[in-house]
Amino acid sequence: MTERTFSILKPDATRRNITGKINAVIEEAGLRIVAQRRVHLTEAQAKKFYEVHAERPFYGELVAQMTAEPVVVQVLEAEGAVAKYREVMGATNPDNAAEGTIRKLFALSIGENSVHGSDSLENAGIEIAQFFTDADIVG
């Protein structure tokens, strides 16, 4: 089934000017970038986006990192896009990420791990709606 998933190219990627390199990996994997916008997240936006992690010890640092530099928010489309993008991203901790994955290629640490991708189709819908309207997405 054709799905849409939500992606963020994180501040460590914009800071190092490697968003194009990451997009190349995304596109080579067969994911289509059907919406994309560069945005500097406010603290309120980052806190809301990562609300599920509010009780985790790394929450404060996560919010600080996500608001330190601009990000690129994206909608990616493909057959089975949610699982496909998680495979392309690799494990959250780059030390555990498989060869050829975005995090293996580019991530600096578990916090500065270059990309975020939705963990389920349901969350993809919720996350996409935080940044894009239907009119923004051109499949």
- Whether 128 and 6 have beta carbons less than 8 Å apart is answered as yes
Minimum CB distance to ligand CMP, residue 127 (Å): 10
The values of phi and psi at residue 114, to 5°, are 70, -35
**Per-residue binding letters, 31-60, with ligand CMP (x by CB under 6 A):** ----------------------x----x--
DSSP one-letter string for 46-89: HHHHTGGGTTSTTHHHHHHHHTTS-EEEEEEEEETHHHHHHHHH
Minimum CB distance to ligand CMP, residue 85 (Å): 11
The answer to the question of residue 113 lying near ligand CMP (CB under 6 A) is yes
Catalytic residue among 35, 47, 116, 128: 116
Minimal CB distance residue for ligand CMP:
116
Rounded to whole angstroms, how far apart are CA atoms 130 and 112?
22
The answer to the question of residue 123 lying near ligand CMP (CB under 6 A) is no
Is residue 40 part of the annotated active site? The answer reads no
Rounded to whole angstroms, how far apart are CA atoms 47 and 43?
6
Closest CB to ligand CMP among 22 and 139? 22
**Annotation-wise, does 113 bind a ligand?**
yes
Active site residue ranges: 116
